[in-house]
Each structure stands twice: as structure tokens, then as C-alpha cells.
Homo-oligomer: A and B are copies of this chain.
Amino acid sequence: MISVEDFAKDAEKWFAENTPRDLDFMLPLTFMEVGTDQQFEFLQNWQRQVYDAGFLGAAWPSEYGGGGLTDAHQSAATKIMRAHNVPIMMNTIGLSWAGPLILDIGSEAHKKKYIKGILSAEDIWCQGFSEPENGSDLGNAQLRAVRDGDEYILNGSKIWTTHGHYGKYMILLARTNPDAPNKYAGLSFILTPMDVPGVRTQKIRKLTGEHGFTQTFFEDARVPADGLMGAEGMGWKIAMQTLEYERGARGGQAGGYSITEPDPLEILNLARDTGQLDNPVVRDDLIDYIIDAQSLNLNGQRAKIGALVRDNPAGLPLMDKLAKTEFAREINQYALTLQGTRSAYYVEEPNAVDGGWWHRSYLNAFSATIGGGTSQIQRNIIGEHVLGLPKSY
């Protein structure tokens, strides 16, 4: 097996040569922000290239399409990707949720069928958890799945499906038993093809003006029952398990990274470019953002050092999403105040500062403070699971 050092050297060379630069369109910070077909196709192609070069899924088993190396190899490559500020790996639901889950508890047939397409971005995956009436209350999902021989018949609707209109498969949380003793016990987790009759997606326009996600309607849609993960009634448990893959609290992600984190250097550059870096009030504000960014960065480092988190091991992982997404919203919002009269502009306006990037980033930042459990829900989770406070609902 190639040494981690040599692998890192190869990665360094490859990304130095192959990272796309000077595009004439804006790249999204997260997969949720993909707003145009142009962005989508570019990123799909880019993930494919990284996979072909061996720097994505390096630690996944080679018999299913992975690189057959170790987590240390993949970490090294991922670190180099960050350092080169490369475009994100866009098939995020596949790479961080479905893939790890399938490798963890899927059948041999699942692994053969799905893993390679996840890595190569040939098969786009999406997630069907939220429903129109149950945005935060995932456990209350009502989409009905009725077993009929080798199939499930699906009826209901899922919403806020990122890449829904590109998706080949969906990880679906469905109600198989409406009479279960509690709402959670009636749920099942099903790998669902989206190209079957009765499945229809409808684009939803984001507050940015772009199209980013969809609502998916299921009308007597028949899907193979072998997509059931675990057993019927285990859906909630498995969904929580996938959340842990995402949080990185368990290993198993394919690597790469799917979120470009806000870098205070960028806002410093903006302040300098707009002539505000000499303003003591602005300097004072910027120092706050730098301290905050640094503390989040350090939280990440500390989470890996057992001795420094032993009193509350769940604390840092569980606060990560809240702290980072609120920070992103705030720093992008602040950036608008540095632009003077030009903050009146938006994307595609030639007079706009940085092409309207900051405005769009601010609006898009809500996708992360709302999606995947709102910041308010995150505070409940931290309060209850880390501090042991009583439930609020």
C-alpha cells in the first residue's frame, strides 16, 4: 500500500495542477447552494475527476469502487483539497449519508449497486426526510409506504430536497406502520429510486431567486422493497445514525469536503478593498469575527484530542453545526455593511462588489441555519443532550 506521505505528495501535485481557477461563474459554498445547471454540471464533472484521480473514497473498499486505502490517506487528501480551496464534492448526500450507511449496514448487493455511482457522481443522491407539515419534527413524517409483495407503494410528499430534480436515488423516511406505539416506531428507511412512475419533482425557488431544491410528490409510486435498510420500524434509528455520519461523529465519510467554510481573510480583504480597514469601529468588529472563526477552527482541532473534551465529549460535535452556520450568516451579513452604496446591488450587476457574492452568501446562509435542524432545534439538542436540561416540547 502506498504510504500516506507519498499519497499526500501525489495529491498535492494533482490538485496544484488540476484545481480549476478563474471561472467566469460563481461556485456555491455548499451543495445546497447549487443554483444553476452550469454549476451542477461543472461540479459533477469535477467530482468525477477527483474520484478518477483516486482522491475521493480512498478509504472505501476497492471491491465496490473505493480506493482500498486507509482513513489517514483520505484525510491527507481532504486536507490538501481544503488548502487548495478546491470546488466542493457535490454528491454530498451520497458521500456523507447514503454511502457510509450502505457500507455500514447495507447488503452486498446494495454495495455493488450504489457505491461506485456515489463516488463518481454518476448517481446523484438526495434526501427525503422533511415534509411540508413537519419541517423540524422529522419524527412525525407521514409519507406512507405500504408493502405489496416485493415492492413498497409510496404516497405522500417530501420537501426541501436538494438536487431533487437531478436525483437518481433518495434516502427516504417513510411511515410503514401508522399504528405503532409512538410516532418514531412507525418509520422505516428506504433507498428509493426516483425514476419510477408516480414520482414527480417540482422545483422550489429559493429566496436568492435561484432554483435550488424541490418538492417531491409520490403517487402510488412502486419501489423495490429490497431498498429497506435494517427492518421496518427502525427508520428513525437509522436516520439518526446517518446524522452522525454527517456530523463526523462516526467515521466512514467518503472524504473530500462539501462545505466551504467562511474565511475571515476574505472579509479582511473586502474591508481593505472598500477602504474600511482604517476605521477603528470596523477593525473592532473584524477582530470579533476573527476570534470567532479562530475559536471554531480550534474547536475542531480540540474535538480530536480526547483529554481536552472528556468532561463533555458530545459538546463540541453537537454545537458544531449551530456555531458554524450562525457564524456564516453573521459574517456574510456584516460584509454587506462594508460596501457603502454598492451594497444595493445583487448578483449579475456589474457595479456589485465581488459580483454580489456576499449578498447571495448571506441569503444562502439560511439554508444551513434552517436546514438539517434549525438553530433553534440545535439549541434544544445541546440543552437536552449535553447539559441534560428537560425537554421543551
Interface residues of A (CB under 8 A from B): 279-281, 284
A284 to B283, CA, bound (A): 12
- In the assembled complex, which residues on chain B have CB atoms less than 8 Å from the CB atom of A281? 280-281, 284
Chain B residue nearest to A392 (CB atoms) is B392
A284 surroundings in chain B (CB, below 8 A): 281, 284
Q: 6 A-B Cβ contacts within 8 A?
A: A279-B280, A280-B280, A280-B281, A281-B281, A281-B284, A284-B284
**How often does this chain occur in the complex, in copies?**
2
Nearest B residue to A281, CB-CB: B284
- Chain B residue nearest in CB terms to A279: B280
Q: A143: shortest Cβ distance to chain B, in Å?
A: 28
Expressed in whole angstroms, the minimum distance between the Cβ of A280 and any Cβ of chain B is 4
Q: How far does the alpha carbon of A381 sit from the alpha carbon of B280 in the complex, in Å? A: 40
A284–B281 Cα gap in the complex (Å)? 7
A280 to B279, CA, bound (A): 9
CB distance from A376 to the nearest CB of B (A): 14
A279–B280 Cα gap in the complex (Å)? 9
Give CA–CA (A281, B287) in the complex, Å. 12
Shortest Cβ distance from residue A380 to the other chain B in the assembled complex, whole angstroms: 14
Complex CA–CA separation, A280 to B280 (angstroms): 6
Chain B residues with CB under 8 Å of A279's CB are 280
CA distance A42 to B284 in the complex (A): 46
Instruction: Kindly provide the distance from the CB of A389 to the nearest chain B CB, expressed in whole angstroms.
Output: 15
**Chain B residues with CB below 8 A from A280, complex form:** 279-281
Nearest 6 CB-CB pairs, A to B? A280-B280, A281-B284, A280-B281, A281-B281, A279-B280, A284-B284
Smallest CB separation, A286 vs chain B (Å) = 12
CB distance from A258 to the nearest CB of B (A): 37
The smallest C-beta distance from A175 to any residue of chain B, in angstroms, reads 28
Chain B: minimal CB distance from A274 (Å) = 18
CB distance from A276 to the nearest CB of B (A): 13
A259 and B279 alpha carbons, distance in the complex (Å)? 39
- Min Cβ gap A278→B in Å is 11
